[in-house]
Amino acid sequence: MPAVHHKLLLEDALQDSPQTRSLLSVFEEDAGMLTDYTNQLLQSMQRVFGAQSEMGLATEQLSRQLLEYEKKNFALGKGDEEVITTLQNFAKTVGELNSLHSELANQMADSMVFPLIQFREKDLTEISTLKEIFGIATDEHEAAMVKYSRLPKKKENEKLKADLVKEVAYTRRKQHQASLQYYCALNALQYRKRVAMLEPMLGYTQAQTSFFKKGIELVSKKMDSFLSSVSNMTQSIQAQLDSEAEGMRVSQRELLSVEDTVYMPDKDCEPVNRTLIQKAGYLNIRNKTGLVTTAWDRLYFFTQGGNLMCQPRGAVAGGMVLDLDNSSVMAVECEDRRYCFQITSPSGKTSMILQAESKKEYEEWICTVNNISRQIYLTDNPEAVAIRLNQTAIQAVTPITSFEKRQEGSPNPDRAKPGGVHTTGSQKSGAAPEPEDLIAPGTPIQFDIMLPASEFQDQNRAGGRRTNPFGETEDDCSTESDDSLLQQVFAVRFLGSMAVRCGNNQEVIYEAMRQVLAARAIHNIFRTTESHLMVTSSSIRLIDPQTQVTRLSFQLGEVCQFAAHQENGRLMGFVVEGRDWSDGDEEGEPSFSAFVFESNTEGEKICYTINLAKDITEAKKDPEALAQLMKNMPLTNDGKFLLLEPETGDTTDGAGQEDLESEA
């Protein structure tokens, strides 16, 4: 190692010449620069030590985190068993490496950071302290020399002179001692700084070498085969990823190469599937937000069994909205929106209005709900049953809006008139009749009642009295009206009528209701006109509430069956018997027609009123029976029968009568 050429001579300390002072300033400047550099170097070494300590803590946390993968139970983690085992092995290896990192951090603290701190605190601090002592001693010596130099020449004071000589000697000796210690420390610093610079780096390098040696032993002896297998695994997974990515790119190009109509609403090119028993997709549902305000929410709906389910965005599973068994569905107009339809529960108390995105979705939803409401999904082969019923419905439903059109399209003109259908078969006894036994396949359906212009003019020209829907009498009333013991009016909407094969079974009314509602749904016929159904003790009349013109009229004797829907209480219908003289028979063959209505009140009340009217008609034949009936039934002030509630049979008051009457 090269020797130190520059040093402070101790022999020159007492003389304290300017040359010595100049050389001393060089040593002091060197010591100051060494102090600054030592602080910066120590800061860098402490940063390395902190990073190594953090490395130990980080590897420990990494080891724990690798073991947490098994406990996460990923929903899509099937097939990760090999990955879990590999991560456990890695966690064990990282734990062993963590011990090596912790040992390396301890070695750095002992052999790198501590020696440099000791050099700064011991050697450099000593130099700083000695410099202060040397400065104080120099100042004291200079002050003593100033006093000694001021001794008077003419009047010498031996005592004062002796005291000043002693003071100068004391301060000069003190300065000499301080300078000798200061010079020795500065000369020694030239050697100590070299050791202080090399020793920490020697300890750092030795610690790193030991760390790498132990790491190589750990990896080479235990992990060669393991790392090789992991490398092969990652390469295999990467190959699978590349293959899957290429397949997804091809699929993406194919999916994006479609026509723009795929993205356009209401541009469906495929035909409507009317045989669905399952359906899913987004619909807008109408919700009431206040007394008169509404809001539409776009939600995902799907059918499951006989239930309509709804699943909002972000929800884990869907919830049931409505039971579709025996429910009714029909197209409606709502808030000037397109493709709206309404689903009503069998009881009629629960209903919802939904809006589809396109016409195809709109028709398929209506058909699907209609198929589910028939409980087709409970059969052995629901798809085949749905196809068969759809074919039958298409053949059976031909929307006709007037008697004139029906006469043109019907093979038998008399079938257009109520009761003008020829009975083609008898009802099977015993088991429940089949739909074909009740209604002939292909039977047309009339959805509206329109009077011919000639008939409407005749009623007005003849000065015929308009029917009072509330049963009020006038002076020129006919004898039949005066003798009527019962007049009851209900607000109804005519849904449809069709020829049926029999009139002695209520099942024919239920089947007619089903076919009429299905036909309206399939052909999107949702407009209905409100009328007044008047039930008297002699007839049933359908009256236009605006013109008071009678649109239909049947004698009670012609009504052979009447019933309300078993589930939807607002639906009711009746069967009228007529005669078909097309075969030339004088008496004519019996024919039957079914009429279906939706009322504002319970259909059972209308049926109860018709039944009461029939009882009155029968009682008119026997004065005693009529008297007994009048005795048992309460009467109104004008002598008419006061209707009873069908559920309880108790006498009702005036408010009860108003409930039975039309809400129009």
DSSP symbols for 481-528: HHH-S-EEEEEEEEEEEEEES-SS-THHHHHHHHHHHHHHHHTT----
Q: What is the pLDDT of residue 427?
A: 39
Mean pLDDT in residue range 84-95: 87
Q: What is the pLDDT of residue 96?
A: 85
Q: What is the pLDDT of residue 500?
A: 92
Tell me which residue has tokens 């589930």. 567
Cβ atoms 519, 442 nearer than 8 A = no
Q: Quote the CA–CA distance of 401 and 73 in Å, as a whole number.
A: 64
Cβ atoms 524, 370 nearer than 8 A = no
Cβ atoms 549, 543 nearer than 8 A = yes
End-to-end CA, the chain: 121
pLDDT band at 46 (very low <50, low <70, confident <90, very high): very high
Q: What token pair was written down for 260?
A: 């723009």
Q: Quote the CA–CA distance of 369 and 279 in Å, as a whole number.
A: 9
DSSP symbols for 259-324: -GGGGSTT---SPP-TT-S--EEEEEEEEE-SSS-EEEEEEEEEEETTEEEEE-TT-SS-EEEEE-
Task: Express each pLDDT in 288-336 by its tens digit.
Answer: 887 778 899 999 999 988 899 999 888 888 888 998 888 888 888 887 8
Q: How deeply is 336 buried, as exposed, middle or buried, from its count of CB atoms within 10 A (0-12, 13-18, 19+)?
A: exposed
The answer, yes or no, to whether residue 453 has pLDDT greater than 80, is no
556: Cβ contacts below 8 Å, ≥ 6 apart: 537, 538, 539, 540, 610, 613, 614, 617
Task: Express each pLDDT in 373-397 by its tens digit.
Answer: 877 777 777 777 777 666 655 544 4
pLDDT band at 16 (very low <50, low <70, confident <90, very high): confident
The answer, yes or no, to whether residue 89 has pLDDT greater than 80, is yes
525: Cβ contacts below 8 Å, ≥ 6 apart: 331, 399, 447, 519
pLDDT band at 152 (very low <50, low <70, confident <90, very high): confident
Give strand pairing partners of 552: 542
Q: Kindly report the number of other CB atoms within 10 A of residue 82's CB atom.
A: 10
Q: What is the pLDDT of residue 371?
A: 83
Q: Quote the CA–CA distance of 155 and 141 in Å, as a whole number.
A: 25
Q: Is 219 helix (H, G, I), strand (E, B) or coil?
A: helix
Task: Express each pLDDT in 234-283 by its tens digit.
Answer: 898 899 999 999 999 999 988 888 877 778 877 777 888 888 888 999 99
Q: What is the pLDDT of residue 259?
A: 79
Beta pairing class for 550-555 and 559-564: unpaired
Q: What is the pLDDT of residue 484?
A: 52
CA neighbor of 494 nearest in space, from 561, 462, 448, 540: 448
Q: What is the pLDDT of residue 273?
A: 86
More confidently predicted of 664 and 131: 131
Q: Quote the CA–CA distance of 560 and 422 in Å, as a whole number.
A: 16
Q: What is the pLDDT of residue 626?
A: 67
The answer, yes or no, to whether residue 45 has pLDDT greater than 80, is yes
Task: Express each pLDDT in 285-298 by its tens digit.
Answer: 998 887 778 899 99
Q: Quote the CA–CA distance of 222 and 130 in Å, as a whole number.
A: 58
126: Cβ contacts below 8 Å, ≥ 6 apart: 185
Q: Quote the CA–CA distance of 35 and 29 in Å, as a whole number.
A: 10
Q: Quote the CA–CA distance of 397 and 521 in Å, as a whole number.
A: 10
Q: Quote the CA–CA distance of 550 and 553 in Å, as a whole number.
A: 7
Task: Express each pLDDT in 479-529 by its tens digit.
Answer: 344 345 678 889 898 999 999 988 888 899 999 998 898 888 777 777 778
What structural domains does the chain harbor? 18-219 (1.20.1270.60), 280-391 (2.30.29.30), 445-450+483-632 (2.30.29.30)
